[in-house]
Copies of this chain bind each other. A is one copy, B any other.
Amino acid sequence: MFDVSLPGPILGIDPGLSRCGYGAIRREGSSLRAIACGVIRTPPTDELPQRLAALHVELEALVAELRPSAVAVERVLFQVNARTAISVGQASGLALTVAARAGVPVAHYSPNEVKLAVAGHGGADKAQVADMVARLLTLSQIPGPPDAADALALAICHAGTGRVRAAVGVADVGPTPVRSFERAVAAALARDGAR
């Protein structure tokens, strides 16, 4: 059932120092399938350099293992306070660095872009997004922890917007991702309607 001509999966990363969510999806025909998700944690009791080094090691291993064709990282918002911004900046910087050094194209999406792509409106709450993630990936239950679901949502968002971004040279994730994505959304909604 696998199309071996398909590129590597799309890896979503929801950066954070205490909890860094990741989720990888692959396109299979008109469907999207989750192939990995989880959370990288670093103990707040450790020193900051050791925590960052541990996160860096894990992210490198993740990219080496999954060999993604694209990495989608949550864009850090500017309305958070500066202290949080520094910490998220440190974690997101590592994700971007690991992807770039592995030669993997990186795309950035704001939380609102992700909500819009996954749940259809930018004002969707976390539960609605997580529910749509489960439907789009045909999962029997909502994936967790929440940071892992957020990372899967980022990857789904990229699957849907990949073609547009490819057109402007940011990332190429396949021949017709938008149409595939639209079909996956339609299929998921049809399944939902049939429940």
Binding site for B on A (CB under 8 A): 47-50, 52-53, 55-57, 76, 78-83, 85-94, 96-97, 99-101, 106, 108
Contact = CB atoms under 8 A, between A and B. Distances in A.
Contacts of A96: 48-49, 52-53, 90
Given A81-B82, A86-B89, A89-B87, A97 B100 contact: no
Copies in the complex: 2
B49 A106 contact: yes
Contacts of A49: 96-97, 99-100, 106
A53 B86 contact: no
Contact of A50 (B92, B94, B100): B100
A52 B86 contact: no
A86 to B, nearest CB: 4
